[in-house]
Structure 1
Amino acid sequence: MQSSLKKSLYLGLAALSFVSVAAVSTTASAKSYAKAGAYTSLEKTDATTRNVEATGTNALYTKPGTVKGAKVVASKATMAKLAASKKSADYFRAYGQKTTDRGSVYYRVVTMDGKYRGYVYGGKSATAFAGGIKSANTTTEATLPTATKGYYLKDSKTNTLWTAPKYTQYKASKVSLYGAKASDTFTVSKAATKTREGSLYYYVTDDNNSSVAGWVYAKGLTTDAQTTFDETTQVQVLVKATDGTTLKTFSYNAGQTSKGAAVADTVLFDSATDPKNLSDGLEAAATKALTGTGYSVAKGDTVNMTANVKTGDTITLYATKGQEAITKVTAMRYDSNATSSKSTAFLTTTTPVAATAYYTVSMPSVTTAFSGTNGAAYTAADVEANVKANKAQTLSSGTIYLPAGTPADADATVLAGASLTNTDVANPTNTVAYHVVYTLKNGVAGTYGNADGAQALYTGTLVQGAAATTTPDAGNSWGNGAASVVAPS
């Protein structure tokens, strides 16, 4: 009986111990959860300062992660993938926060595409992002195009305007084009590159309706005038390169008044020949459309032929690239007073007399020809690159003599009084040697093969001391070691 009592007592104590341990365990577990404070909205602060990206060190939860009941929305591995993403859609916008009784700050965030939303650990400060997220620059400022005016939207359905480049701001949306016409021109005022994708966007404003403004993908703009395609009276013409790249699109009158009506052969082709040639009208329209591209459509190229065309149809013409044209580069005076911010005329002084010696400069010999497809457009940057390749960014006049203390920004009137020697009887005060250093300011856009050549504009600064070259040859372009004439602005 005593043995039985001991056994019962032992079992009872064991059961009691189990209950006690369970109670202790439950208490400890309850204390392991943190408590979150009140929710604080961040939506009244500058939204652009709340663009963040995941660091991949913390998961995303339905509530602060250490609070009881928190469930995983995006695992740590998923957050790491979002951190390494090359898509702007995977950035986050922070819009609220909670701080736990342990001092941990959790930010309420949502991805730019709205796919993931929840709380992520953000460090110990309520004023700085840390832990699982960090601040993000969703775009970077880019350089404006050389020309900022005269742009058209290529296709308003596929190249629409946005309040911000898509997914670089939360809820970036399309801008209404109501009131804008296909013929409206746009002006570019800002440029930005999407940080992750690297795609270029321009901020444009409709010149005829300033309420129509927004960001557009740069390749969605064109300098070609847009016309409305009328399916009842026209055919649409795609002009492609031989590799299939679309060069231009234009509408061409078909001579009919209803959609689906047969287009007469003579509208598109010269039916008097065999095989058929393009009609004079269509050839002229294609040539006009290709101006500045360096491509041309051959009138008798049978690859361009098609039959049984109806109004509303799209036909394709294939163009070939023209021959290379070498274009001379001409140094010109930058005129700060000119309305077009470039020289108004070529400088052609050929004799380095006293009054003109300061702007007759020696030019380097060409090492890199400025060339491209005949008729193709080149940019100001292309000219500048060629000038730099030929080491012509800086030019120098011959030695001239002026009074001591002549300022570096002396104008043409002062410089015209210079002497070629320091013993000029007419100007006995011209005793100090100077020369003018000319610095490339910018190139001017144009087309290869242009008879007038490409233009490089220079500004001048007076420098004390003799020039390395004292008797420059005459001329105004380089390519053959000749000299050029420029003058200070």
Structure 2
Amino acid sequence: MQLKLKKSIYLGLAALTFASVAGATTASATTANAASKHHAEKVTKKSHKKVTKKHAVKKHAKKAAKKAPVTFNVTKSLNQGIVYKATGSNAIYTKPNGVKGSQISVTKDNMASKANSNSADDLFMAYQQVKTSKGVHYYKVVSFDKKVRGYVYTKGIAQVNPVSAATTPSNTTGYVTTNNISNYPYGSKFGSKVQNFNGIDFSKDKFTVSEAMTVGNDTYYKVADQSNSLINGWVNANDFTNNTPKAITDAQNYANGVHVTYVNNNTYQTISNETLNPANLKNDGTYATQDIINAINNSLYGKGYANVTNDKVNDNSQNSQNLNTTTVVKKGDNLTVLVTPQTQLNYGIYGVNNKGAFNQSTTSVNTTELNPITIANTDRNNLFLGDANGNFNYTNFSNNALASGKYMNTLTSKDGKYTYKFDAAMTENNSANPALFSGNGISTIKPNVKLSDLNAQNNGKGLNLVYDITENSTGKTVNASDVNIFG
């Protein structure tokens, strides 16, 4: 029993000891785990805080740097008298490149084109230098034609001297044909402008050239008004001339001329007014009567009026007399001239076919294939103009236009291949000109043939002028129809 009790106690103690040990072990393990866990969490949390803080600082710094805008400030104002030209290496921007809102105003390619240009329009004036917050320098520029304004990197333009010496004209006295007299040549420096001379008319004044220069493609002259020294400046060489301008010539002609009023002799209605400048103005400012008559008839040339004689010209004086050899007409005088409307003579050129044969005929010649006929104005009016109801003087026409050596006796083709010789026999024939000549093969001029009757014949073609045609290379007479077909 004691033995059992001892075993029981022993086992109990052992159990207790095991349990205690186990409990102690468990407790110890639990405590250690807890401590270990606690220590790990603490370290991890501390480490996490440090990493997060450092990362946040870096991120904030980068974000702050990224958001910082590019700005620029004017560092200095530049001399506006200096001229620049594009180098072609950089574009022009509305603001320095990188500044918010900056856009390209002129591309790099366009600047390269301006670099190769000789036009003053493509030169620049730089009036400010600026520096960006990144340390980049730009010029603020404007083109000479004021169409371009903006910012360009300082190496995008270079200083130039666009002016070179030029030669003054051999005759330095002349006229300025423009009102555009500038303070200095366009392109030589920025700000060239036309000067205001308060509306003074200097178009008739003589100017003197004292200096010349070339800018780009243009030459300029420095000029001064001989009548008014206050009017001076620079003009393009194209606007200076040694020739008297038309305005001055017209004014001189008007002052030296005679003023003519043309009046219809039939209706007495005014037709037109002209200023004429007869030849041979005398030192005393007067004209000879015949010189006046010649000037009047020259002015009527081609206008459908007959030549006038001195009895058709009135001097408009107080005595109102017609001109005669003793009449004194001065420059600036007014004259009235009575003119008679005339009808133009219609005529056609015809060539002979089968000359001398029983079947000879005529063919119309295209007058555009012939060299033009040159006739003096007076003869033209006398021969080809007349009163429609007046008699046509064929004898006068023939003697002064068709006879040997006269205007229309011999005609030539423009190509030089043919000569046309007037054939009087075939022209002065009833079959060719029934209104003008009697029949039965007799070349008799009908009496009192009116110009209107002659113009109406041959279906309105008028006078039929017939020519024999010779081929120049062979000397042989050819048919007009052959020339028209094969010529």
TM over 0.5: no
TM (normalized to structure 2)?
A: 0.40
Q: Larger Cα Rg: Structure 1 or Structure 2?
A: 2
Could you say which structure has the greater relative contact order, defined with CA pairs below 8 angstroms and 6 or more residues apart?
Answer: 1
TM (normalized to structure 1)?
A: 0.40
Of Structure 1 and Structure 2, the greater helix share is in 2
